[in-house]
Amino acid sequence: MKRRRLAPLRRLGQSLFLCLFLFLFIKTDYQGSDNLQYAVNLIFRIDPLVAAATMLAAKTFIILLFPALFTIVFTFLLGRFFCGWVCPMGTIIDMSHKLARPAPNTTDWKHQNLRYYILFFVLTGALFGLPLVGYVDPFSILVRALTLALYPAFNFSSESFFTFTYLNAPPWVNSVTEPLYAFMKNYILASDPRVYTLTLLSLSILLIVLLLETVERRFFCRNLCPLGAMFSLVARFSLLRTIGGENSRCGKCQNCRSTCRMAAIDHNKAVSMEKCIFCLDCIDACPKKQISFGFAFKLAPISMNISRRGFITTAISSAAIPLFLPGRAISKRPNPKLLRPPGALSEQDFLTRCVRCGECMKVCIGNGLHPLFLEAGLEGIFSPKLSPRLGYCEYNCTLCGQVCPTGAIQKLSPEIKKKERIGLATFDKNRCLPYAKAIPCIVCEEHCPIADKAIKFKEVELVNDNGQRLVMKQPYAIDELCIGCGICEYKCPLEGEAAVSISRPDNSRLQKDALSY
Amino acid sequence: MDRRKFIKEVLLWSAGLSLSVPRFIVPGSIHAAEGAKSTLSFTEGPDYESLVSRALSSLGGMKSFVNPGDTVVVKPNIGWDRTPEQGANTNPIVVRAVVQHVLDAGASKVLVFDRTCNEKRRCYTNSGIEKSLKKLNDKRVELDHIDRRKFVPVDIDRGKSLTRREIYLEALKADCYINVPIAKHHGLSKLTLGLKNSMGVIGGDRGEMHHDLGQKLADLATVVRPKLTIVDATRLLLRNGPQGGDIKDVKIRNALIASTDPVAADAYATTLFDMKPQEIESTVAAYKLGLGEMDIAKINILKS
Ligand code: SF4
Ligand code: SF4
Ligand code: SF4
């Protein structure tokens, strides 16, 4: 009798959740109304690691992250089902496994406790003001790579293809490709080509996670993922349990052990709920059908092998590192070009709350938000900044505050958003055309969205190169009106640097901090 | 990466399958005869659909511009993320009424588009034009965003300041191009009217156009030539144009100007702002190029 295999069922589940994840990713975009229709940041809101780290950093309860509690309850009921069936990172790792040539499954890297250290370090760090969760959370790694690298590349290659067919292919080909392109533009592709900073860096981090598959299967999940570690801590009490071949009529084949991607089955064929992700491979592999599921409550001791000294060292170092941060020059003179999104918390709070997920950069309708590199210090990498020469903040848009899962960017009402100051515009008279070259230009003023114009002109009589007397309209910015949206810098027609640029000349974001201490 | 470079690379990958970006030559003969007396219709009233109907009927009806089966471009101003009340974009009811007439005249396709200044989807939505055209529920109407593959380089033979520019293919090859600008204030050119509305069909960086803007707009008008210009003067943005934002700057005027002569339409629209046509550089430059009449006294004005 042919046995019914169960793994395809799991693969189907994984595919469905991956599709849902990608759907929400693509929907992280303007949808024709000021408010987003979907909970596009769902994946981060059900992420208990993000929830724990953010709440420890903020030292308050954040209602937005409440759904993470369900994941914990869910894990208590069904163990690490999430890792095996839902997690898009796990699915992608499993998919890429086919491309890698991995070591056999039973080999066990010796440091599988590392993930507990990482978890502990991240959480104590969050408490003491060291923002690290974004660098190890699997969804942050994944969404960042998608936003900054993979999706733009997908868009570029699609556009290249359809441009090629449009220009070169015979009409009958175009009668197929053009409707397809129109469909893709409507539902899948970005509305305009996007560019980002740190594209290759974010891609590399994801690639490293995938390449680790050549060392052992689900290397990231077994050894590094702090979210998985968090699930493990709960899953050992999981009500749903995998019952292996221990104390049974099990033979000596070891099929289950060699097939297990998580090395969850020990020599006695007991299955560790800390590790098992319900991939169902062992059930398919067991010739004697000795493996089954059952509901039971067990007070399972933690199997990790972490010394007390290890924990103390971790805690001390995560508490000590933040002491070094205020000694840096940037805490006295922050980079004036470091413009945070509208509604961002004060600098210190922002840095500790932001989980570097990249949602705001994905949604930014003006392509103005980009991950920064070192401008805010080593621990600020991948947090968002507005780069007005690359994109600007659209006056009527409030999307970044809507997608930020942690409240690092506050959700602002349109009225408040339109008054929220990101920075201030200043003119470089050595470059600005009406000053430097007696050439008329009003592009910045034309685009300034403030109804009574934060850019105004003074009319000055000038003599140009040809000796002509001209009345030149020379622009200047009015600080009281300017909100630093950056469209003037973005649209400035000069090559290279714009003649008007946005900066934070004051230390306002820092001063806010000083007061709040 | 800019569009030209992009297309060049695509062509390189295709290993020279095609050798150059297609060029578009605008033949002089397709344009309406120059020199005949310009006729202009000026209508007033609070019902915008009737404004459009009356304006068109005094010019002989849409059938005199659109033949059955034609592909027609209706080019409103949808440049800004502003609502109709703010008077920065062409009024959505006016746009819909014009499109309706084009459909009734038997057009096989009506293309409506603009190259926007703010984010394009927000402009299409907030201008109210997307919603308004959806109400027509007619498959022949296509409100698409600009497709960057469709800009073609065009030599502007008669241009004085602008001799070559990328122009949107659909605007060039349509059987009938209808320009539907909104009349409003502009910081540099004083007003933006019909000629300035053609900025929405050119490619590349538009910022540099502002140097010698009036002449450049006139040069552009030698190749982008509407059969009909309908100036929306239902709301006049008097200050802080072209994007406005404060309804205190908007005057409700409930008027519409329609003409086959783009210069005459602009010239007459100027008078609504208590200004003279001579004050608008693009009008003067276009007049000098022989593109139309700017002397109000010489225009045949039909009021209704
Ligand atoms: S930065 Fe501005 S344009 Fe970008 S998402 Fe935020 S509000 Fe919208
Ligand atoms: S600020 Fe941006 S990157 Fe940071 S948590 Fe919010 S959405 Fe994610
Ligand atoms: S940044 Fe520029 S465009 Fe934006 S409000 Fe200030 S002056 Fe106006």
8 Å CB contact of B13 and A160:
yes
Residue range A314-353, pLDDT digits in tens = 989 999 999 999 999 988 888 999 999 999 999 889 999 9
**Res. B32: pLDDT tops 50:** no
Of A135, A202, A484, nearest in space to A340 by CA: A484
The whole-angstrom separation of Cα B274 and Cα A457 is 23
Write the CA distances from B199 to B76, B83, B129, B130, B133, integer angstroms. 11, 21, 19, 20, 22
Structure tokens at A175: 């009668």
Residue range B188-228, pLDDT digits in tens = 899 999 999 999 999 988 887 888 899 999 999 999 999 99
ipTM of model: 0.91
Number of other CB atoms surrounding residue B173 within 10 Å: 14
Structure tokens at B46: 């609070």
Instruction: Quote the pTM value.
Output: 0.92
Interface of A with B in 33-72 (CB under 8 A): 33
Q: Which of A354, A364, A385 to mutate to test the pocket of ligand 2 (most atoms within 8 A of CB)?
A: A354
pLDDT > 90 in chain B, percent: 83
Answer whether A498 contacts ligand 3 (Cβ < 6 A). no
The whole-angstrom separation of Cα A398 and Cα A377 is 27
Number of other CB atoms surrounding residue A308 within 10 Å: 7
The whole-angstrom separation of Cα A473 and Cα A455 is 11
Tell the burial category of A35 from Cβ atoms under 10 Å away from its Cβ (0-12, 13-18, 19+): exposed
Residue range A420-455, pLDDT digits in tens = 999 999 999 999 999 998 888 999 999 999 999 999
pLDDT at A300: 76
Of B75, B97, B86, nearest in space to B252 by CA: B86
Q: Which of A100-109, A229-238, B4-13, B270-279 bottoms out in mean pLDDT, i.e. has the lowest?
A: B4-13
Residue having the nearest C-alpha atom to atom 6 of ligand 3: A482
A415 C-alpha to center of ligand 1: Å?
14
Residue having the nearest C-alpha atom to atom 6 of ligand 2: A404
Kindly list the residues from chain B whose CB atom is less than 8 angstroms away from the CB atom of residue A443.
207, 210
Residue range B87-117, pLDDT digits in tens = 999 999 999 999 999 999 999 999 999 999 9
**Res. A385: pLDDT tops 50:** yes
Interface of A with B in 430-459 (CB under 8 A): 433, 439-443, 445-447, 449-453, 457
> Which residue is associated with the tokens 């602008």?
B162
Partner A contacted by B22 (CB < 8 A): yes
DSSP A5: P
The whole-angstrom separation of Cα A425 and Cα A440 is 19
DSSP B81: S
Nearest to B7 among A163, A192, A450 (CB): A163
Partner B contacted by A394 (CB < 8 A): yes
Tell the burial category of A59 from Cβ atoms under 10 Å away from its Cβ (0-12, 13-18, 19+): exposed
**Res. A478: pLDDT tops 90:** yes
- Using DSSP's 3-state secondary structure scheme, residue B164 falls into strand
Number of other CB atoms surrounding residue B36 within 10 Å: 10
Kindly list the residues from chain B whose CB atom is less than 8 angstroms away from the CB atom of residue A192.
120
Kindly list the residues from chain B whose CB atom is less than 8 angstroms away from the CB atom of residue A450.
245
Element containing residue A476 per DSSP (H, E): strand A469-477
Predicted confidence band of residue A267 (pLDDT cuts 50, 70, 90) = confident
The whole-angstrom separation of Cα B135 and Cα B144 is 16
Of A254, A266, A259, A265, nearest in space to A281 by CA: A259
Contact between A197 and A370 under an 8 Å Cβ cutoff? The reply is yes
Residue type, A23: F
List, as one string, the DSSP characters of A406-461: TSSBPP--HHHHTT----EEEE-TTT-HHHHT-----HHHHH--STT-SEEEEEEE
